[in-house]
């Protein structure tokens, strides 16, 4: 079983991944509409909780929250944030694998994760575990980002991969699941009802230089395992390529980003 442990990029994770406030608000609106978490006694488990980027708004709202992750460094950032919140309900943090949750059956009202199933080869095992630890009528959510309208800067990834392959190294590509329909299909196979919902869209502006920096600083998991030398060479080549193709590396191109969830409910 393969997993991407984010230990090596925990220090720059939060500064390189930010959502507008309304992304969180719209998740809460969905949860309120579902009605499952009306009581503050309701228990939520987040798998692949990381630095708590998605968890903190829930904890601030007073939910009983359990976060698990395999990365100690990501969890340590999460724990620092929890320590700075004044009034919290019950919060638990465990270093654990999402395919082997250290919890008894039927413990949680909601199990969820964001941008995590792409990082776990046995993602089906995660969904089975989620079902096991969910109470009857519990809800599972998996959130992902995607391009609604992609700016030309997305082409950097493909070029970067080409320059890495040319140096006889391999980019770390997702080995879990990246297609929400596959997640939805498997939720149905294990007895759930599934829906895919786009919750938020927002404009983004990105320059070629910013996109190239994302690789240069190893901010993304695709650089895991790439040697420093190959990375430096690839970044140099990327700059030359982008300058040749687009001229100004500081021009802010516009795109539209989206956040959507796959929802699974397991009725009795
Ligand atoms: C892209 S990060 C997402 C973190 C957080 N959900 C967020 O959106 O900010 C993926 C996280 O999944 C964790 N992870 C990867 N494989 C895992 C596994 N098998 N069990 C638990 N966590 C895992 C990584 O360590 C990392 O913190």
From 19, 69, 113, 221, give the residue whose CB has the most ligand 1 atoms within 8 Å, as the site to mutate.
69
Other Cβ atoms within 10 Å of 254 Cβ, number: 10
Tell me the mean pLDDT in the region 148-176: 96
Lowest mean pLDDT among 32-41, 88-97, 216-225: 32-41
Dist. CA 134–CA 36, nearest whole Å: 12
The pLDDT tens digits for 41-79 are: 899 999 999 999 999 999 998 899 999 999 999 999 999
From 15, 119, 261, give the residue whose CB has the most ligand 1 atoms within 8 Å, as the site to mutate.
119
Tell me the pLDDT band of 1, cut-offs 50, 70 and 90: confident
Atom number of ligand 1 nearest to Cα 17? 9
Residue 149 · residue 201 · CB < 8 Å: no
| Residue owning the nearest CA to atom 14 of ligand 1 | 48
Q: Is the pLDDT of residue 40 over 80?
A: no
Dist. CA 99–CA 102, nearest whole Å: 10
Q: What is the distance in A from the centroid of ligand 1 to the CA of 32? A: 25
Q: Is the pLDDT of residue 136 over 70?
A: yes
Q: Which domains does the chain have, with CATH numbers?
A: 7-148+174-202+255-265 (3.40.50.150)
Please indicate whether residue 237, judged by its CB atom, sits closer than 6 Å to ligand 1. no
Residue 32 · residue 58 · CB < 8 Å: no
Say what the pLDDT of residue 259 is. 98
Tell me the mean pLDDT in the region 14-41: 90
Please indicate whether residue 119, judged by its CB atom, sits closer than 6 Å to ligand 1. yes
Please indicate whether residue 27, judged by its CB atom, sits closer than 6 Å to ligand 1. no
Say what the pLDDT of residue 209 is. 98
């Amino acid at each position: 079983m393969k997993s991407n442990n984010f230990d090596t990029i925990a220090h720059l994770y939060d500064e390189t991944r930010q959502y507008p406030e309304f992304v969180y608000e719209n998740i809460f609106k969905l949860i309120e509409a579902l009605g499952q978490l009306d009581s503050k006694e309701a228990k939520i488990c987040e798998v692949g909780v990381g630095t708590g980027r998605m968890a903190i708004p829930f904890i601030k709202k007073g939910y009983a929250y359990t976060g698990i992750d395999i990365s100690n460094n990501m969890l340590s950032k999460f724990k620092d944030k929890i320590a700075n919140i004044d009034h919290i309900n019950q919060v638990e943090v465990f270093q654990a694998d999402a395919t082997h949750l250290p919890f008894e059956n039927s413990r949680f009202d909601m199990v969820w994760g964001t941008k995590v199933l792409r990082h776990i080869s046995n993602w089906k095992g995660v969904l089975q575990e989620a079902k096991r630890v969910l109470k009857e009528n519990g809800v599972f959510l998996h959130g992902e980002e995607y391009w609604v309208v992609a700016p030309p800067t997305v082409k950097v990834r493909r070029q970067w991969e080409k320059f890495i392959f040319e140096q006889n190294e391999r980019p770390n590509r997702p080995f879990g699941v990246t297609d929400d329909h596959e997640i939805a299909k498997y939720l149905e196979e294990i007895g759930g009802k599934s829906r895919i919902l786009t919750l938020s869209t927002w404009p983004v502006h990105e320059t070629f230089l910013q996109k190239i920096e994302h690789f240069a600083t190893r901010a993304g998991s695709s650089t895991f395992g790439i040697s420093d030398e190959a990375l430096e060479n690839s970044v140099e080549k990327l700059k030359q390529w982008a300058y040749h193709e687009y001229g100004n590396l500081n021009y802010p191109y516009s795109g539209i980003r989206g956040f959507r969830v796959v929802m699974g409910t397991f009725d009795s």
